[in-house]
Structure 1
Amino acid sequence: MEPLQALAAREKTSVTKLTSRSKIIKTILHTIQEKKGENIISLDLRKIPEAVADFFIICEATNTTQLKGISDFVEEEVKKICGETPYKHEGHQAQQWIIIDYVNVVVHVMLPETRKFYRLEEMWSDAAMAEHNS
């Protein structure tokens, strides 16, 4: 099965409507906080027609070790607690920006310089934003 067909099939099987209070989002946010991720925000993209997901969760890591630690822990905890594995993940080689794609929720773990350069919050400024710093 081609990747796009697999993605379309997975989206159709979703029974529960995703909200900011959904188990997967709460698990991701809690996991990032446990690993001391900084400047944690969520963007609710559901009202933006051209959005590639329903939610983005964005955070910063202070160094490459923490970047990998946060992303690995997110994947482990989401699998353990929610039974979900990522559709795709990118960035483990370059270690500046790791993306964990759960189809409707995309997690962005970035180094501060990379986050300042790409400015995702500005790119998606129409989205409702919430801060999640502990």
Structure 2
Amino acid sequence: MTKLECIVKAMDDKLATHITAIDMRDASPIFDTFVLCTASNDRLMHAIQQNIKDECDKHGYEVKSVEGLRDSKWILIDLGDIVCHIFEASERENYNLEKLWGDMPRINVEGMLAK
């Protein structure tokens, strides 16, 4: 299982919605991919974050850091070449990273989601 598949499945397993992966290789020398998702509430955001961490640990992928754990509506997980963004809906709409990076190609994650 690739790191991206591990992350997307971990998000999906905890009922994250609107999972989107953006290929950032042409925009960033630091990371290759953004993976964004939406959680319906704070508790779910933390459950998604923990599941990503647990699944990455299980498959040998290092979580370098996690930001936004306290009273935040946006959690960022740094996995080196992949950066995950877990948003509450209003915060995702406010920052609108998909529009900001609208010229970057999307990675199809449909095949990684549970049916």
TM-score by length of 2: 0.88
How many aligned residue pairs are there? 111
Residue of structure 2 aligned with 1:35, choices 14, 32, 42: 14
Which structure is higher in RCO with an 8 Å CA cutoff and minimum separation 6? Answer: 2
> Residue by residue, what CA displacement relative to the aligned partner does 1:10-34 show, whole Å, maximum 9, x if unpaired?
xxxxxxxxxxxx7100000011111
TM-score by length of 1: 0.77
Letter in 2 for 1:103: G
Task: Name stretches of at least 5 consecutive residues in structure 2 with no aligned partner.
Answer: none
Give the greater-gyration-radius structure (CA).
1
Query: Please, what is the CA RMSD of the aligned residues?
Result: 1.6
1:51 positional shift: 5.7
Task: Name stretches of at least 5 consecutive residues in structure 1 with no aligned partner.
Answer: 1-21
- Provide the identity percentage: 25
Matches within 5 A, 1:1-134: 23-48=2-27, 50=28, 52-81=30-59, 83-130=60-107, 132=109, 134=113
> 2 CA distance for matches of 1:28 and 1:100?
10
Runs of 4 or more, structure 1, over 6 Å off, are none
1:96 positional shift: 0.6
> 1 CA distance for matches of 2:107 and 2:93?
18
